[in-house]
Amino acid sequence: MGNRGMEDLIPLINKLQDAFSSIGQSCNLDLPQIAVVGGQSAGKSSVLENFVGRDFLPRGSGIVTRRPLILQLVNSKAEYAEFLHCKGRKFVDFDEVRLEIEAETDRLTGSNKGISPIPINLRVYSPNVLNLTLIDLPGMTKVAVGDQPVDIEHQIRDMLLQFITKESCLILAVTPANTDLANSDALKIAKEVDPQGLRTIGVITKLDLMDEGTDARDILENKLLPLRRGYIGVVNRSQKDIDGKKDIRAALAAERKFFLSHPAYRHIAERMGTPLLQKTLNQQLTNHIRDTLPGLRSKLQSQLLSLEKEVDEYKNFRPDDPARKTKALLQMVQQFGVDFEKCIEGSGDQVDTSNLSGGAKINRIFHERFPFELVKMEFDEKELRKEISYAIKNIHGVRTGLFTPDLAFEAIVKKQIIKLKEPCLKCIDLVIQELINTVRQCTNKLGSYPRLREETERIVTTYIRERDSKTKDQVLLLIDIELSYINTNHEDFIGFANAQQRTAANATKKRVMPNQVIRRGWLTINISIMKGGSKDYWFVLTAESLSWYKDEEEKEKKYMLPLDNLKLRDVEKGFMSSKHVFAIFNTEQRNVYKDLRQIELACDTQEDVDSWKASFLRAGVYPEKDQADNEDTMTPGDTVSMDPQLERQVETIRNLVDSYIGIVNKSIRDLMPKTIMHLMINSAKDFIHSELLAYLYNAGDQGSLMEESAEQAQRRDEMLRMYHALKEALVIIGDISTTTVSTPVPPPVDDTWMVKDPSLVFPSILDIIPAQLLHTCASGCIFLFAQNDF
């Protein structure tokens, strides 16, 4: 009965399969297996039934096997069958087994000849079998039949390769003797998944159906297309025998008689036949399992160790233990506080490399987005000069003023300071939203306890909303403080004397900067398809120019654009575009690039657009101001040009306003982050560390707060079952003695006499190596594949 010293090895693999199948997991283990491949007419059904000694497989035309059938053969005194989906039911009548296979197949695939990769598990106990596990897979086909999808050939092929591609799989290549061996489907698919021929064994069927005067002697003697393990010949029942219900035992006797009486095979009869094939497969699989046990044991141990730490807290787990709930609540709140602080302050562990979040995003709001909003508000030159002119005239009244009135300066400055409220409040709103996102991100780790997560998020978010109003009040107070006293003695203020000496050009002249690099990065230039289409370039922004290159090596410069007279404007996102766009244009209506009046630059996100705009601000390129054209509605008296004296006064106050607003902006840019950090962010951190726990206790019953989610309970149960399954598997392997006597593998065949015609042979099949060198397999199984015979 096969390899007696190791006869428990195949049942061992079956036990491992059962241990992991019971928890719906495979543990990513590749258990040893044998795959049988062959054409649909190669006799695969007869081989399976000959092993079992019973007719139990569905038969018919076309594709009969439409779901994988995992068939475990177990040597036993009693004879019966069991299905995994019919636990507890024993099938004694094998005609009922056939009907159950057909019914279970139709349940998932319907009756339209469709296929499904979900297997049917069948275990057969019999005194007539050796311990083996086989997988009968759908046969390969070339043409869709009936309601089958047109790509049925590819579907079946993908399913087969999913099973046999693993390096841990031995391959039994089944080929009918009445077809050309060089065109064997079995050898072809074996070559694809096993190009070195390390896992291939040959079987020749239908020897009794060869034309008169021909035989397969050269093949069976391993002279034509030799394999290191050689070939085994079998004779199955004919269709007439099957239709006539010929007994399989009688068929095996007829097979034996055929080999003993045939002049071409009688000298090798002891090495042919179904019983020898079954014994050989049992021996090869057994030896292969023995060789893979050390590696399998190591893999099981490493997986067990990886689960040990997580399972420790579950081993003595009692869901209703109040002490456990209290401890878990304290740990969860403490961890939430640590995670929130790390998100705000930054941390080296678990760094997000795909997006800005938490403190990094708030930093961008402080130092890029907020200054950009201030600049957008600040530069409206035409409107500002008009307001100054009206202020001077209204202060002088009916008189013609000889001196520049300082009251006009104060009125204009206060009006400009009031405009700061909107960007300041917007900055607070952006920070609030990011803080709430950070809280939500940190509470994700509380997902095991849904009520705790919900309450924590609600309490902290409510507190942040409360701090929102206090922070806004404080910022508005800062602006009111600036409005309360205009300090013309500030050390950075230019004063009246210096203001009068400046000209309009000097006042609006861009700040001189050294030609330093401000930013580098990829941007897309949006150009119509007629002019070449959009392209990505590597941009380098300096204080004086914007250059773009082919790539980040900066060797091939495409263009350099001076920044003089350039401004930014927003561009609406295209209907079919996923990118965010802004544009650069020349205020003097000149072409910016080639024949383009503006260049549209695109980024992947709005954050990138805002960041680039902030970089352009540093280079002195400001956004375009959206202004209403009020001149069209002015009365003729309003549009009269100013006299030279009024122009000088307007220019003087304009320079003074520019100087003083610069001081205020600098102060606000400095105080805003400090105010928000103190009143909102640091306050939120202190609240989480010192008061959150008390609020949670007041929020409701501790028991309901620490109620586990269904997903967490299921995960814990699966983890424990996996842990116990791994321990059971190690115990099973530990009980096996790995001492056995095995038949030595034949030496390599001499094939130097052969003509290596690649159109006739498969070179990778010619050098099959010994069983001792075979790779690890998965699931202790034999697979059978078939293909239409046209």
459 Cβ partners below 8 Å, 6+ apart? 692, 695, 696, 699
Q: Mean pLDDT throughout 331-347?
A: 85
**What's the mean pLDDT when you consider all of the chain?**
76
Sketch the domain layout of the chain as residue ranges: 3-298, 517-623
Question: Which of 350-359, 385-394, 464-473, 620-629 shows the lowest per-residue confidence on average (mean pLDDT)?
Answer: 620-629
Residue 349: pLDDT above 70?
no
Q: What pLDDT is stored for residue 260 in this prediction?
A: 92
Listed ranges 112-116, 602-606, 640-644; the one with the highest mean pLDDT: 602-606
pLDDT of residue 644: 66
Q: Quick one: pLDDT at residue 346? A: 77
What single letter denotes the amino acid at residue 167? E
Helix, coil or strand: residue 525: strand
Q: Pick the range with the lowest mean pLDDT from 260-264, 370-374, 555-559, 755-759.
A: 755-759
Give the mean model confidence (pLDDT) for residues 2-20: 61
pLDDT tens sequence across 566-606 = 888 888 876 667 788 899 998 888 888 888 888 889 888 88
Report phi then psi at 448, rounded to 5. -65, -25
Task: Give residue 326's region: left, alpha or beta (phi > 0; psi -120 to 50).
Answer: alpha
Q: Which residue has the higher pLDDT, 683 or 646?
A: 683
Q: What is the mean pLDDT of residues 687-697?
A: 87
Of 61-75, 210-224, 258-272, 665-679, the least confident: 61-75
At 373, the pLDDT band (50, 70, 90 cuts) reads confident
Q: Average the pLDDT over each of 109-113, 297-301, 689-693 and give the range with the smallest value.
A: 109-113
pLDDT for position 143? 75
Q: pLDDT band at 463, cuts 50/70/90?
A: very high
Is the pTM higher than 0.75?
Answer: no
Q: Which residue has the tokens 């997000």?
A: 352
Which CATH number is 517-623 given? 2.30.29.30
Q: Is the dihedral of CA 389, 395, 398, 401 positive or negative?
A: negative
Which of 160-164, 274-278, 378-382 is predicted least confidently? 378-382
State the CB neighbour count (10 A cutoff) for residue 600: 20
Give the pLDDT mean for 710-736: 73
Pick the CATH number of 3-298 from 3.90.600.10, 2.60.120.10, 3.30.930.10, 3.40.50.300: 3.40.50.300
Q: Which of 287-291, 496-500, 628-632 has the lowest mean pLDDT?
A: 628-632
Question: What's the distance, Cα to Cα, between the start and end of the chain in Å?
Answer: 39
Tokens, residue 303 = 């997986």
SS3 771: helix
Instruction: Place 671 in a pLDDT band, splitting at 50, 70 and 90.
Output: very high
Both tokens of 500, joined, read 């009068």
Tokens of 131: 């311990």
- The burial class, CB within 10 Å (0-12 / 13-18 / 19+), for 587 is exposed
Whether pLDDT at 355 is above 50: yes
The predicted-structure confidence for 483-536, as pLDDT tens digits, reads as follows 998 888 888 777 655 655 554 444 444 444 456 788 888 888 887 665 667 888
Is the pLDDT reported for residue 104 higher than 70?
yes
Angstrom distance (rounded) from CA 95 to CA 100: 9
Q: Residue 591 corresponds to which tokens in the numbers above?
A: 């072409």
23 has a pLDDT exceeding 80 = no
